[in-house]
Amino acid sequence: MTRYENLKGVPNFNCFEYTEKKHDYCVLIPIINEGERIKRELKRAVAHGVHEVADIIICDGGSSDGCTEENGLRALHVNTLLVKDDIGKQGAQLRMGFHFAVKRGYKGVITIDGNDKDSIEDVPKFIENLEEGYDLIQGSRFIKGGVAENTPFTRLVAVRFIHAPVISLTAGQWFTDTTNAYRGYSMRYLTDERVQVFRDIFMTYELLAYLSVRATQIGMKACEIPVRRSYPKTGKTPTKISFFKGNSELMKILFANLFRKYNP
C-alpha cells in the first residue's frame, strides 16, 4: 500500500497496486458501496476481455459493504484499487484517478460508472477513438447504434431537453448524452494548462460538466460514440443523485459551467 497525501488539487488516498502497469490506457471506475453491481460489471469486463486492452482501476470513495475486498478484485482482474479518505464525491474520486493515471504515464483514460448500467464491453471503441486523435469521446445511448433501456421518463426529459442543449451551447458542439460519465479522455487533454483538472473546486459533479465542454473550447477534438445504458425494469434506480437536492445541485453546476465559472 502506498499513501498519497498533501498533493495540490488531489484528495488524500491510499493506493493498492495489485499488478504493474500493463497497457497504454486505463479504465477508471468511481464507486462507493456498489455491492453486487460492481461485481457484475467487472465480470462482464472479464468476459469481454477488457482487462486485456486496458488496466482496470477502481476509484473508491470509502466503501463499507465489502465490494472492494482484495481477493475478489484480484480475481476479476482489477489492476489497482485507490481509496479516497478525504472530502469530496465523484469529482474528488476522478481527480484521484487522474493523478494516478498521469503518474503511471497512460496515454489516455476511460471513465465509467460502477453501478452496472453501462456497456463496459465497449471500452475498445473508446481506445480506438483515442488512438485516432480524439481528446474527448462521449458515450451516448441516443445516437445511431446506441441503446437506452428503461430510462426513467423524468431523466430522459432532463437530459434531452435541458442538460444536453446547455452543455452543447457551452461547448460549441452538439452532444446528446451529457450526464453520461462513460467517456474517454486523452492525456493531452487532462494535462493541458488551459484545463487544470487538479483543483479543489471539483468536488461533486462539477468536473463531469466541465470536461464535457473544455476540450472544444480550447480547440481539441471531441466526438460521440454509441453505447448502451440500461436501468432496471423494476425496483430502485441505481444512482447517487437524489431527486430534489441532487438535481438542484446539477442545475447549479450546469449554469455555472455555462458562464465559465470553472475555467482557469
Convert the pLDDT of each residue in 182-231 to its tens digit: 999 999 999 999 999 999 999 999 999 999 999 999 999 999 999 999 99
Q: What angle do CA 254, 215, 95 make, to 5 degrees?
A: 70
Q: Count of H helices and E strands in the chain?
A: 9, 11
Q: Please give the pLDDT value at position 233.
A: 85
Residue 59 has pLDDT above 70, yes or no: yes
Residue reference for cell 473508491:
60
Please give the average per-residue pLDDT across 139-162, as a whole number.
94
Torsion sign (Cα): 177, 178, 184, 189 = positive
Q: Rounded to an integer, what distance in angstroms lies between the CA atom of residue 51 and that of residue 54?
A: 5
Tell me the CA end-to-end span of the chain in Å, nearest whole number: 33
Query: What is the β-pairing status of strands 55-60 and 136-140?
Result: unpaired
Which pLDDT tens digit goes with each residue over 108-127? Answer: 999 999 999 999 999 999 99
Q: What is the pLDDT of residue 160?
A: 93
pLDDT band at 235 (very low <50, low <70, confident <90, very high): low
CA-closest candidate to residue 211, choices 110, 106, 80, 141: 110
**Full set of structural domains in the chain with CATH:** 10-258 (3.90.550.10)
pTM recorded for the entire structure? 0.94
Yes or no: say if 75 and 6 are a contact pair by the CB < 8 Å rule. Answer: no
Length, in residues, of the chain? 264
Q: Give the residue-averaged pLDDT of 226-241.
A: 76
pLDDT band at 84 (very low <50, low <70, confident <90, very high): very high
Contact by Cβ (8 Å): 123, 50: yes
Per-residue pLDDT at 234: 74
